[in-house]
Amino acid sequence: MKQFNLIQRINIAMDVASALCYLHHHCTSPVIHCDLKPSNVLLGVDMTAYVSDFGLARFLGNSISSMNICGVKGSIGYIPPEYGMGSQMSTHGDVYSYGILILEMLTRKKPIDKAFQNGLSLHTYVQMAFPDKLDEVLDPLIFFEGEDEIQNQSKCRDFMKTMMEICIIPLAQIGLICSMESPKERMNMKDVEKAILSIKYAYLSQNMC
């Protein structure tokens, strides 16, 4: 992952959420991407994020046999656990992949990181730190603001604390809920899109003060 500051990561999360929301809720037949991961999110010159590579995508209206005919679809680390148990593909699977993507954006750790062994996963890694020790698992570059980086240490601490409360903790919570093991416990992309938009507005309103 390239070096992105907080608002850039929020914008990417927003763009991907909007794309999945469209696929799941606004197409004539809901579309399941089946392979959402960082390498399938492309950035334009204006930093707009685009979901790409629909080679494994399926229409939800297809029969169960056609949905499962080729076995488990997707990439290791981003495939929802229910697919490995033979469950039918669903929009819940894309939501899981999105949740893992969010957690990876926050921690800069891939779900297949060598550190995740003996039952530890990216989800549990963040969950154990959430919310009080979340700063310990964050990518330290998440607060990097380039030429506009805050120089005064006290102001910097205040900025980081505020961003933790209004942006990062809510964003991590979305990632954790979306990557729950049970599909029924995950959010749908309509609610995710609204929640990410609220986080973006919170960031912008704070930085306009």
- Pairwise CA distance, residues 194 & 24, whole Å: 15
The active-site residue, picked from 35, 53, 139, 158, is: 35
49 strand-pairing partners: 43
Let me know: does 37 contact 110? Beta carbons within 8 Å.
Answer: no
Question: Tokens 């606004």 — which residue?
Answer: 26
∠ CA(169), CA(174), CA(175), 5° rounding? 95
Longest dimension (CA), the chain: 61
Q: Is 135 a catalytic residue?
A: no
Phi, psi of 47 (to 5 degrees): 70, 15
Catalytic sites, residue numbers: 35
